[in-house]
Amino acid sequence: MVKAFPLAHQNGRRRFLGQAAALGALAAFPVPGARAETTIRLPLPGGPDTRQLTAEFPEKGELILQRTRPPLLETPFAVFDHGVLTPNDQFYVRWHLSMIPSQVDVRTFRLVVDGHVTRPLSLSLAELLALPRVEMIAVNQCSGNSRGLFEPRVAGGQWDNGAMGNARWTGFRLRDLLDRAGVKPGAIQVRFSGLEAPAIPTMPYFRKSLTIDHARDGEVMVAYLMNGKQMPLLNGFPIRLIVPGWYSTYWTKMLSHIEVLDQPDENFWMKVAYRIPDTPSADVSPTETGYKTVPISRMNPRSFITNFQTGDTVKAGAPVSVQGIAFGGDCGVAGVSLSTNGGTSWQATQLGPDPGKYSFRRWQGQVTAPSSGVLTLSARCTNTKGEMQSWTPIWNPGGYMRNSIETTTLNIA
């Protein structure tokens, strides 16, 4: 749900721009081989499973280093047990192209809106901050979140479950900006690009598109604040696109150009990359070929246990409080169920407050530990569309859209 606010006060705009200008001298990104303090082991069946933990990136705390340039930084899963909102300094990072500005001059920055419009725009940050203000809590999840858990292994960043985060985004509706530019009849898509650039001329710039109706639905927005603060450079400063309920490949960071199209977008990142099998759940056999593909789009429901990890120990015969997070994908959470017997039976859990249909939602349940052996915990989310997580993991060559039921096994002492 989008919450509207009155127009920002002039003093507020000056204060924001003043703070933004102070970020103009952010430190450059670490180079390959940068020192990391400790390591962590991720439960990746295809290995290798050891990763460095690093706090050397600007405005970032300790994150799992998946790749240095372009940066892939994963949120340690314990962070998700601390609250519904993911802290900015531990929010995951994912870029596609290696040429990323290490600083942005907010005095000269412009957002260009052109293409199939009657009034092309080139707007400063001050002009953008003057647009009617809105706010939304929404999950940002990489399309390849949990790719490292696919069996057989697929190519790409070998994420565990931490390539996601939930934040309160503040900005303005994309529809308001498009209305100011005056979309011409016949427009069918809106294409977005940011300040990241390829290292070599033959590599395509990163561009993603939405249909005109989706872009103007009143929920897609452009954000300049993240959890009430200026978003970190690595998460898209000074502005980024927010596409609630859809995977983050569409959430363009350092947004600088919006182009209205009167013909289908056939750039590489729409026509070739980020495509999934056009099958139920985007699932195919590892040996299957010749199937139709479509661009990845909306997220599906997921749930996670956050206060335990496999290998933890609980007391024999004692009550065990279990808690976690869930999200419905492109709609809200209807319920989360908990099983201790591999899905033979399920018990309902108690849902926490609802921060909005695109947000993480807390849940809590209680079970009793057996007198010996192990305690196996499984959580299952059902969204408000009636879609439910499955036991069977999907497989596709991109390693996209994993949302099978996760299991946590505890030892009994």
* Domain at 399, CATH number: 2.60.40.650
How high is the pLDDT of residue 37? 62
User: CB-based contacts of 316: which residues, under 8 Å, 6+ apart?
Assistant: 369, 370, 371, 372, 412, 413
233 within some domain: yes
Same domain, 192 and 257: yes
pLDDT per position as a tens digit, 248-297 = 999 999 999 999 999 999 999 999 999 999 999 999 999 999 999 999 99
Q: Are residues 223 and 80 in the same domain?
A: yes
Q: Are both 116 and 172 inside the same structural domain?
A: yes
- Percent share of the chain, pLDDT over 70: 91
Q: Which residues contact 185 (CB under 8 A, 6 or more apart)?
A: none
Pair 261, 223 in one domain: yes
Range of the domain at 11: 3-23+43-273
Query: Is 126 domain-assigned?
Result: yes
- Is 340 within the bounds of a domain? yes
Supply the CATH number for residue 264's domain: 3.90.420.10
* pLDDT reported for residue 15: 41
Q: Say yes or no: 381 and 264 in one domain.
A: no
Q: Is residue 71 included in any domain, yes or no?
A: yes
In terms of DSSP bridges, do strands 350-351 and 293-295 run parallel, antiparallel, or are they unpaired?
Answer: unpaired
Same domain, 217 and 127: yes
Percent of the chain scored above 90 by pLDDT?
Answer: 91
Rounded to an integer, what distance in angstroms lies between the CA atom of residue 230 and that of residue 194? Answer: 17
pLDDT band, residue 22 (cuts 50/70/90): very low
Residue 28 lies in a domain: no
3-state DSSP assignment of residue 250: helix
pLDDT at 2 over 60: no
Q: What is the pLDDT of residue 343?
A: 97
pTM of the model: 0.93
Residue 281 forms part of a structural domain: no
Residue 397 falls inside a structural domain: yes
How far apart are the two ends of the chain, measured CA to CA in Å? 45
Same domain, 248 and 101: yes
Question: How does the average pLDDT of the chain come out, rounded?
Answer: 92
Asked if residue 220 and residue 133 are part of one domain, the reply reads yes
Q: Are residues 169 and 316 in the same domain?
A: no
Is residue 367 over pLDDT 70? yes
Domain count within the chain:
2
Same domain, 310 and 225: no
- The answer to whether the CB of 254 falls within 8 A of the CB of 102 is no
Give 6's pLDDT tier (boundaries 50, 70, 90): very low
Q: Please check whether residue 128 lies inside any domain of the structure.
A: yes
